[in-house]
Amino acid sequence: MPLRQNFKNAPTRKKRRTGIITVLILALILAYFFGDFSKRTKNIILGTGIGMTAVLGLDVVSYEIDFKTLRDTGSIDASRKTYSNGVALLWDCSTGEDLDCDNFSTQDEAQSVYEKCMNKILEYNKDVDKAAAVSLDVYGLDGDKDGTVCEHLPAVAG
């Protein structure tokens, strides 16, 4: 996804944060080149600018990091999050994969993945009720939105 499109589709909060980081980097550049500072202070400004540039790079990718999950799991992959209709989704349930009913051999297997993601949505977004969460079928497995997915698959392998 091109950077411009990624930025255009980002949540407003992310756009604001990216703008603030960019302004801070520009201020550091101006201070470094035009400020009357000691060599030590210029080195601090330079180091801060490099750090802020790294933060900006992380900020413009198509996902955000949930730092609590990162701290708990130590996994960047598990701590990635995206948003769907204003609801935060952690990586393994944030359409990181494109699954459909053909990826499962049984209805129970598909239902298990669906329930796992539903529970994560409800756990991570305390203000979302179960009825609203059903509409966030991130993989599109529940066509009729009744909570039962891939109903055409056999219940058990066989």
- Reply yes or no on whether the pLDDT at 90 is more than 80: no
pLDDT, tens only, 42-69: 999 999 999 999 888 877 765 677 788 7
pLDDT for 11-33, tens place per residue?
566 778 888 999 999 999 999 99
User: What's the CA gap between 123 and 119, in Å, rounded?
Assistant: 6
Which comes out higher in pLDDT, residue 58 or 87? Answer: 58
> Which pLDDT score is estimated for 11?
56
Higher pLDDT, 123 or 9: 123
Residue 5 has pLDDT above 50, yes or no: no
Specify the pLDDT at position 114: 86
pLDDT at 38 exceeding the cut of 90: yes
Mean pLDDT of 101-118: 88
Separation of CA 146 from chain center: 26
SS3 51: helix
pTM for the whole structure: 0.51
Residues 18 and 10: beta-carbon distance below 8 Å:
yes
